[in-house]
Structure 1
Amino acid sequence: MPTPSLEGAAPPAGHTATQTTTQATAQTAAHTRWVQLGLGLVCMMTISSPQYVWTLMTKPLMAKLGIALPELQVTFSLLVLLQAFFSPFQGALIDRFGPRMLISIGTLLSGVSWVLASYAHTTSMLYLTYGCIGGLGTGIVYVGVVGFVVRWFPDRRGFAAGVAAAGYGMGAIVTTFPISASLATHGVESTLWLYGIIFAAVGLVASQGLRVPPAAESVSAAISRTAVATRDYRPSEMLKTPLFWLMFVMMTMMSTSGLMVTSQMASFAADFGVSKVLVFGLAALPLALTIDRFTNGLTRPLFGWISDRLGRENTMCFAFALEGVAMAVWLLTRDNAVLFVLLSGVVFFGWGEIFSLFPSTLTDTFGTRYATTNYGWLYISFGIGSIFGGPLAALLHQHTGSWVPVFGCAIVLDLSTAVLAMFVLKPARARFVGVRG
């Protein structure tokens, strides 16, 4: 007797009950994974404001605490460094206890850090709350969501990682103006308290729907057009491979090159004489920063999507070279305010995709079971890049009195990483997966 389908009709001839059940499971999983991606995106958006809205907090916090900007900026450094350097530990906890529990804790920590910071009346208290607690919370969510979504999308890892990373890169667009208005109307203490509660509540609710994916083959039968591992590598195994350290060096190079320039935009825009020039009726620098935020978010899912179809290393080579060329043209036309604005967007467009291409490539290479912990180790490279990028650029400019060496270093790093992607990483990954996968 034929087994009835989910709709109650008899299945096609030759189908077994097992085949019908498998198809139904695959269809359900295919629908569920988009819901999971959406929930992960919401979680990422709730943790984006501590980093991307920080600039709005500096003046009111300086006035409240009576401190200078360099002393206050230690808070931001703690946030970024703890987010990056604790990633392997946070990833291991997520792999051990599951994404729902840990990402719930991370969203709570991130929101609560603002609530506690609203009561901070000393610099050390602000460091502990906004910097340390906030950094740990955002790190758990960032690494957790990226490692989570690449497991749900074995056929679209680049796109999924890009969407998650875009939520972090662009999430603050939703909150920038409301927070700015609240600061002007209610002050910094009330703003931190109110939005901390909102972020914690929204993140906690969204994270409750997160689920561990079924086996990759039941999610989709399609395979991305790139070399894919056939077994899962533990972090201890991955760290022993030269291939991982090649990716680590490449991501460090790209992080450093991008941050060398992007972190100094206000300074070299003033030196180039374009910071106060009007472009399309708007001040050049704020317009450039607005465009940059948009392109920095757009590039993550876009290049991730392209890499799912054209291959990770091919996409890396094009994107990294694009940034290098855009920087070169940017430098050569630095006195043209219109080109300054437009090319800044291209530079960010060629840089932000590292947050989709590297995690998807890493998971393709070392498997999905330990994807979160493994990406935690790779994400340390961004922390190193943030240390090298800003201070190194400032030091080079201080010693040479020119921005040309800064741009030169960034361009060389970009083009070198593009070459490594195509001619070293691509064949090395093919050999690794073919021989050892």
Structure 2
Amino acid sequence: MDTENPKQRWVQLLLGLVVMMTISSPQYVWTLFVKPFQTTTGASLAAVQVTFTLVIVLQTFFSPVQGWLIDRFSPKLMIAIGAALSGLGWIAASKAESLFALYATYGLLCGLGTGIVYVGIVGLMVRWFPDRRGFAVGVVAAGYGMGAMITTFPITDLMAATDFRHTLLVFGCILGVVGVLAALGLRAPQAGELPNLPEAKVLSAAQDTAPRAMLRTPLFWLMFAMMAMMSTGGLMVVANFASFAREFGVADAIVFGFAALPFALTFDRITNGLTRPFFGWVSDNIGRENTMAIAFTLEALAICLLLYYRQNAYAFALLSGVVFFAWGEIFSLFPSILTDTFGTKHATTNYGFLYMAQGVGSLLGGPVAALIHDSAGNWVPVFSIAIGLDLLTAILAYFVLKPMRRNWLGAGAAARPDVALAKPAMV
């Protein structure tokens, strides 16, 4: 084995990106299959949409178990199994005739598969890139955020030419096979394999912390609460995007030659993907908490402007992209700061626990926002809550999380003089 090959980690990053792209379609292309499954099962929209909820819940709330399995067994094996389950979910769903079959195939298999892959890939990248952790996690997270852009139009065309069952079967096979093949090239770095880096460039924790010990620290729960608040506030906007576009009267307006709503959705996917490596790279250079304070404040400002100019179609379309740009970076910043703080040894399992905060956000963001809207009769209170959560999290990042992490890492360095000089991610 060549332990001095600096290109190996970039190969791993590329493979991780490919696998993440193959598992993004079950979540981001689901909307194309809702109506066909309604027709097939004869079920209500709400009943069919339970499938999507299952995907998110299984992906996030089972992530600690998935992370433990990846740490316990081979990352390559588990991530390949996850990619296979995700593809198999579509293949099996192509035969589904009932709601139960739909839940057990698309919901269960795709949810578990995407969760295994997501936490597994993130866990590997934080190990391969101790000096560029935010950037590397941002790249693979962007793959999950933007991967469906490649498949959306081919899936739409194949559904028009054949039917949704044939489309699920074909793309389930393609995505499953590509994901498994790419996963088989993944592995964890071995001793002496990473390039020789100046100690000051390694964004490392003073000591590795096991999940049980991590869960007993107020520091972890502060991170969990912050990620849950950002997920909830962001998803209040994301999950109801089409609804408030129609209520504002801009959904069908023409901007740059396109209808405002589909233009905004496409633009948002791009910015939501680009923000992850961008802010990850920024945080590698100016510090995680500083970057969080800037990004979260930017999102609050963007939502304020979006609300103020809500009846201007051009402003709506462009500002929605800024909102997504300032929100999507949570998927690079939080796993990076978690590993900076609690170490790399248990990184995958530890992130599995933090990733549950995204599940909390998915359960609260969409339904709670809809209830608030129905109660108030408009979207202003929903936007106001999202703005408040953004600003509160920005303040917590800079004035609470930053000193708490400094104290935690300082205490760890004092306990282990051999690593006392390691740079603690610019706190």
Which TM bucket (shorter chain)? over 0.9
Task: Please name the residue that 2:277 is paired with.
Answer: 301
Tell me if 1:84 matches 2:84: no
Task: Please name the residue that 2:127 is paired with.
Answer: 151
- Write out per-residue CA displacement over residues 141-183 of structure 1, whole angstroms, 9 at most, x where no aligned residue: 0110011111100000000100110010000011011111111
CA gap 1:225/1:347 in 2 versus in 1, 3 angstroms: farther
Give the superposition deviation at 1:226: 8.7
Q: What is the aligned length?
A: 413
Give the superposition deviation at 1:71: 1.1
The answer (yes or no) to whether the contact 1:151–1:216 under 8 Å persists in 2 is no
Residues 35-434 of structure 1: matches in 2 within 5 Å?
Answer: 35-215=11-191, 218-222=194-198, 228-434=204-410
Distance in 1 separating the partners of 2:42 and 2:196 = 57
Give the superposition deviation at 1:228: 3.3
The answer (yes or no) to whether the contact 2:264–2:317 under 8 Å persists in 1 is yes
- Write out per-residue CA displacement over residues 183-239 of structure 1, whole angstroms, 9 at most, x where no aligned residue: 111101111111111111111110111111124884341457797312211001110
The percentage of counterpart residues that share the same residue type is 60
Give the superposition deviation at 1:265: 1.1
- Tell me the secondary structure at the aligned position of residue 311 of structure 2: coil
TM-score by length of 2: 0.94
Give the superposition deviation at 1:64: 2.0
CA gap 1:175/1:316 in 2 versus in 1, 3 angstroms: same
Question: Which structure has the larger Rg?
Answer: 1
AA at the equivalent of 2:208:
D
Distance in 2 separating the partners of 1:144 and 1:151 = 11
AA at the equivalent of 1:372:
T
Give the superposition deviation at 1:245: 0.4
The answer (yes or no) to whether the contact 2:23–2:86 under 8 Å persists in 1 is yes
The answer (yes or no) to whether the contact 1:154–1:223 under 8 Å persists in 2 is no
- Write out per-residue CA displacement over residues 238-259 of structure 1, whole angstroms, 9 at most, x where no aligned residue: 1011100000000000000000
The answer (yes or no) to whether the contact 1:152–1:216 under 8 Å persists in 2 is no
Distance in 1 separating the partners of 2:322 and 2:186 = 35
- Tell me the secondary structure at the aligned position of residue 97 of structure 2: coil
Distance in 1 separating the partners of 2:367 and 2:356 = 17
CA gap 1:39/1:60 in 2 versus in 1, 3 angstroms: same
Distance in 1 separating the partners of 2:329 and 2:175 = 26
CA gap 1:308/1:206 in 2 versus in 1, 3 angstroms: same
AA at the equivalent of 1:329:
L
AA at the equivalent of 2:372:
L
CA gap 1:84/1:177 in 2 versus in 1, 3 angstroms: same
The answer (yes or no) to whether the contact 1:232–1:367 under 8 Å persists in 2 is yes
- Tell me the secondary structure at the aligned position of residue 232 of structure 1: coil
- Write out per-residue CA displacement over residues 257-293 of structure 1, whole angstroms, 9 at most, x where no aligned residue: 0001111111111111111111112111111111000
RMSD between aligned residues: 1.5
Distance in 1 separating the partners of 2:201 and 2:291 = 12
Task: Please name the residue that 1:25 is paired with.
Answer: 3
AA at the equivalent of 1:282:
F
TM-score by length of 1: 0.92
The answer (yes or no) to whether the contact 2:142–2:274 under 8 Å persists in 1 is yes
CA gap 1:113/1:327 in 2 versus in 1, 3 angstroms: same
CA gap 1:172/1:227 in 2 versus in 1, 3 angstroms: closer
The answer (yes or no) to whether the contact 2:130–2:204 under 8 Å persists in 1 is no
Distance in 2 separating the partners of 1:322 and 1:275 = 24
Structure 1 alignment gaps of length 5 or more: 1-20
